[in-house]
Amino acid sequence: MSEGKVPLSVKPAVPRHVAIIMDGNGRWAAARGLPRVEGHQRGVEALRRTIRAAGEIGIGFITIFSFSAENWSRPASEVGELMGLLRRFIRNDLAELHQSNVRVRIIGEREGLDADIGRLLVEAEELTRGNSGLTLVVAFNYGARQEIARAARRVAEQVTSGAIKNADVTMETLGRFLDAPDVPDPDLIIRTSGEQRLSNFLLWQSAYSELVFVPTYWPDFDRAALELAIGEYQQRERRFGGLVAKTGS
First to last CA, the chain: 21
Q: Amino acid letter at 84?
A: G
- Residue percentage of the chain with pLDDT more than 70: 92
- Of 23, 93, 179, 187, which is the active-site residue? 23
- Give the model's confidence band at 135: pLDDT under 50 very low, under 70 low, under 90 confident, else very high: very high
Which tens digits make up the pLDDT trace of 83-110?
Answer: 888 888 888 899 999 999 999 999 999 9
Task: Give the pTM.
Answer: 0.89
- Of 71, 131, 185, 222, which is the active-site residue? 71
Burial of 67 (0-12, 13-18, 19+ CB in 10 A): buried
Which fold is adopted by the domain 17-143+185-234? Answer: Undecaprenyl pyrophosphate synthetase (3.40.1180)
How far is the C-alpha of 62 from the C-alpha of 171, rounded, in Å?
A: 24
Which tens digits make up the pLDDT trace of 42-96?
Answer: 999 999 999 999 999 999 999 999 988 888 888 888 888 888 888 888 888 999 9
Residue 148: is its pLDDT beyond 60?
yes
Which tens digits make up the pLDDT trace of 184-200?
Answer: 999 999 999 999 999 99
3-state secondary structure of 62: strand
Looking at residue 98, what is its pLDDT?
96
Contacts 24+ apart (CB under 8 A), 124-132: 124/90, 124/94, 127/94, 127/98, 128/94, 128/97, 128/98, 128/102, 128/103, 128/104, 129/103, 130/103, 131/98, 131/101, 131/102, 131/103, 132/101, 132/103
Cβ atoms of 207 and 13 closer than 8 Å: no
- Give the model's confidence band at 2: pLDDT under 50 very low, under 70 low, under 90 confident, else very high: very low
Active site residue 185: no
Mean pLDDT of 210-224: 97
Mean pLDDT of 211-230: 97
Which tens digits make up the pLDDT trace of 202-214?
Answer: 999 999 999 999 9
Percent composition of the chain: helix, strand, coil (DSSP 3-state, to 5):
45, 15, 40
Residue 12: is its pLDDT beyond 80?
no
Instruction: Please write down the HEC assignment for all residues of 183-233.
Output: CCCCCEEEECCCCCCCCCCCCCCCCCCEEEECCCCHHHCCHHHHHHHHHHH
More confident residue, 223 or 238: 223
Residue 27: is its pLDDT beyond 60?
yes
How far is the C-alpha of 207 from the C-alpha of 11, rounded, in Å?
A: 26
Mean pLDDT of the chain: 91
Active site residue 23: yes
Looking at residue 20, what is its pLDDT?
98
Mean pLDDT of 133-139: 96
Going across the sheet that includes 17-21, the strands are 103-107, 135-142, 61-68, 17-21, 188-191, 210-213
